[in-house]
């Protein structure tokens, strides 16, 4: 008789206010469903009895407020239940935000201050659960019919597009636990590096551009203005990182600062924001379920993220390979450029090149395996202030025939011939 595979289906009964924490295996997806009761994944309710397939390596928790039974099919890296979570404190924050949205929407709330819903910024060290908390707050708001704006300033492990970008997008439905944030029309700016120290001035300039565009959109849209925004930040909280947090709070006029998992950062921010009575600084506990990631794991995650951009989360996209002439495309770099030695400069002059200067890049073999952004700029001098249409990946440079081969996630002509290059590369594996 043929050997029958060992049954891999497992049932887990969850008591109220507890969660099942899962790390999906490295090379096998996991099927999971809600058998009975109610449960949610990072703020999004699970449909009853429907099997969902989670991709390899995904880390998540199935939380229940009132109790549930979960069924899992397949091996996992780890899975365990936990009954100590900070979820009650998180949902309490949501309730306060909800009150503010309702007040902002009330007919008596005319005037720009009163009709502005909460502008929440989530800060904390790496692996404190910032992205996860942002996601829950957005999904809970969307479930109640709001369309809050998600702003992701994390260029390392961003969740809207790919590393090296900052972006914003309205969240109209609770975020899909498998697919993540749906990308209808995100507003994206290309920074091009995965650490802000590469060009702090450029990072700040792009944050400012993004904030200004959103401000303009809010002016004409009472609904999204009342819903407010949730801003996710980087885990870099020391030195320049701290300065960038203050810069973001100020630039977006954040009025709720949620500090995850660090007493020191909380007390620093509370002190420095004390003279701003309309800004609330709130300390929140980090969840024990947040998985710490080494720099190697982060590096890998960035690479997977770029792969997902071109191939889809479930390998369900087929990127297009295109060929262009060298003369059809114009590649630019922001900042850097030739740096004069101090000895060649007048006394007292700053040897650092203008961080926002746009310089043309020659097309050569150095572009191989580089990820470039397609700018919406009409002229090169608009590149810093323009958002991007998307990204391309250079797969071949033919110097003889002067042809460049590149991958795009969808078919069609590039919306512009202006490309931006940073230090972002990717090796297709
Ligand atoms: P970074 O600073 O790198 O942006 P972060 O502070 O935003 O990190 P998250 O991305 O929210 O942290 O969480 C880190 C990882 O832990 C993610 O893979 C997330 O899905 C996972 N995670 C968060 N909370 C839980 C939980 N309760 N159970 C299981 N996994 C979790």
What ligand 1 atom has the least distance to the C-alpha of 125? 2
For ligand 1, whether the C-beta of 126 sits within 6 Å is: yes
- Give the pLDDT score at 42: 98
Query: pTM value?
Result: 0.93
Cα 178 to middle of ligand 1, angstroms: 15
Helices 240-251, 263-272: inter-axial angle, 10-degree rounding:
50
For ligand 1, whether the C-beta of 18 sits within 6 Å is: no
- Give the pLDDT score at 40: 98
What ligand 1 atom has the least distance to the C-alpha of 298? 3
Work out whether the CA dihedral 169, 170, 171, 173 comes out positive or negative: negative
Query: In this model, does residue 1 exceed pLDDT 60?
Result: no
Q: What is the number of other CB atoms lying within 10 angstroms of the CB of residue 190?
A: 32
Q: Residue 216 carries which DSSP code?
A: H
Average the pLDDT over each of 30-34, 209-213, 345-349, 424-428 and give the range with the smallest value: 345-349
What ipTM was predicted for this assembly? 0.98
- Give the pLDDT score at 189: 97
Mean pLDDT estimate for the chain? 92
Distance, in Å, from the CA atom of 144 to the CA atom of 43, rounded to the nearest integer, reads: 12
For ligand 1, whether the C-beta of 283 sits within 6 Å is: no
Please tell me the total number of residues recorded for the chain in this structure: 429
Structure tokens of 59? 């880390």
Cα 127 to middle of ligand 1, angstroms: 6
pLDDT digits (tens, 9 = 90+) for 106-150: 877 677 778 899 999 999 999 999 999 999 999 999 999 999 999
- Give the pLDDT score at 236: 93
Q: Which of 129, 137, 152, 289 to mutate to test the pocket of ligand 1 (most atoms within 8 A of CB)?
A: 129
Indicate the pLDDT class of residue 7, thresholds 50, 70 and 90: low
Distance, in Å, from the CA atom of 127 to the CA atom of 118, rounded to the nearest integer, reads: 24
Q: What is the number of other CB atoms lying within 10 angstroms of the CB of residue 151?
A: 27
- Give the pLDDT score at 325: 95
Indicate the pLDDT class of residue 207, thresholds 50, 70 and 90: very high
- Give the pLDDT score at 351: 57
Q: Which of 127, 181, 302 to mutate to test the pocket of ligand 1 (most atoms within 8 A of CB)?
A: 127
- Give the pLDDT score at 365: 93
- Give the pLDDT score at 413: 87
* Sequence-separated (6 or more) residues with CB below 8 Å from residue 3: none
Indicate the pLDDT class of residue 160, thresholds 50, 70 and 90: confident
For ligand 1, whether the C-beta of 305 sits within 6 Å is: no
Indicate the pLDDT class of residue 237, thresholds 50, 70 and 90: very high
Cα 291 to middle of ligand 1, angstroms: 6
Query: In this model, does residue 309 exceed pLDDT 70?
Result: yes
Strand order in 30-37's β-sheet?
9-14, 68-73, 30-37, 52-54
Query: In this model, does residue 344 exceed pLDDT 70?
Result: no
Hey, whose CA ends up nearest to atom 28 of ligand 1?
A: 289
Query: In this model, does residue 258 exceed pLDDT 90?
Result: yes
What ligand 1 atom has the least distance to the C-alpha of 126? 2
For ligand 1, whether the C-beta of 130 sits within 6 Å is: yes
For ligand 1, whether the C-beta of 297 sits within 6 Å is: no
**Percent residues over pLDDT 90 in the chain:** 77
Q: What is the number of other CB atoms lying within 10 angstroms of the CB of residue 224?
A: 18
Distance, in Å, from the CA atom of 315 to the CA atom of 301, rounded to the nearest integer, reads: 16
**Residue 27 backbone class (left: φ over 0; alpha: ψ -120 to 50; beta: rest):** alpha
| Bridging pattern class, strands 358-361 and 229-232 | unpaired
Hey, whose CA ends up nearest to atom 31 of ligand 1?
A: 290
Query: In this model, does residue 416 exceed pLDDT 70?
Result: yes
* Sequence-separated (6 or more) residues with CB below 8 Å from residue 405: 321, 322, 323, 394, 395, 396, 397, 398
For ligand 1, whether the C-beta of 308 sits within 6 Å is: no
Hey, whose CA ends up nearest to atom 9 of ligand 1?
A: 129
Query: In this model, does residue 252 exceed pLDDT 60?
Result: yes
């Amino acid at each position: 008789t043929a050997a029958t595979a060992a049954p891999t289906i497992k049932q887990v009964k969850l008591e109220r206010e507890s969660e099942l924490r899962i790390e999906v295996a490295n090379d096998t997806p996991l099927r999971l469903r809600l058998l009975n009761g109610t449960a949610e994944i990072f703020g999004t309710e699970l449909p009853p009895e429907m099997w969902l397939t989670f991709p390899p390596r995904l880390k998540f928790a199935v939380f229940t407020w009132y109790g549930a039974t979960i069924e899992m099919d397949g091996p996992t890296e780890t899975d365990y239940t936990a009954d100590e979570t900070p979820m009650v404190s998180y949902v309490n924050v949501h309730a306060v935000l909800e009150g503010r949205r309702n007040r902002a929407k009330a007919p008596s709330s005319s005037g720009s201050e009163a009709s502005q819903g909460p502008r929440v910024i989530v800060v904390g060290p790496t692996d404190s659960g910032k992205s996860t908390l942002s996601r829950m707050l957005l999904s809970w708001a969307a479930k109640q019919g709001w369309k809050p704006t998600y702003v992701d300033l994390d260029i390392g492990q961003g969740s809207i597009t790919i590393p090296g970008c900052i972006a914003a997008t309205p969240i109209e439905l609770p975020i899909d636990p498998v697919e993540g944030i749906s990308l209808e029309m995100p507003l994206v700016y290309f920074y091009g590096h995965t650490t802000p120290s590469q060009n702090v001035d450029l990072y700040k300039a792009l944050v400012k551009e993004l904030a200004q565009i959103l401000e303009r959109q809010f002016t004409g849209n009472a609904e999204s203005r009342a819903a407010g925004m949730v801003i996710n930040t980087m885990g870099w909280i020391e030195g320049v990182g701290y300065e960038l947090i203050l810069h973001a709070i100020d630039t977006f006029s954040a009025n709720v600062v949620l500090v995850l998992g660090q007493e020191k950062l909380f007390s620093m921010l509370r002190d420095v924001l004390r003279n701003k009575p309309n800004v609330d600084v709130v300390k929140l506990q980090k969840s024990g379920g947040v998985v710490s990631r080494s720099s190697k794991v982060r590096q890998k995650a960035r690479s997977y993220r770029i792969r997902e951009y071109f191939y889809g989360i479930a390998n369900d996209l087929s990127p297009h390979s295109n060929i262009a002439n060298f003369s059809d495309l114009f590649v630019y770099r922001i900042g850097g450029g030739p740096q004069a030695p101090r000895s060649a400069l007048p006394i007292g002059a700053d040897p650092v090149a203008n961080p926002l200067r746009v310089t043309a890049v020659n097309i050569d073999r150095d572009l191989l395996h580089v990820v470039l952004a397609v700018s919406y700029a009409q002229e090169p001098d608009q590149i810093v202030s323009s958002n991007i249409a998307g990204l391309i990946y250079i797969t071949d440079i033919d110097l003889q025939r002067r042809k460049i081969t590149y991958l795009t996630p969808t078919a069609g002509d590039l919306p512009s011939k202006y490309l931006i290059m940073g230090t972002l590369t990717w090796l297709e594996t």
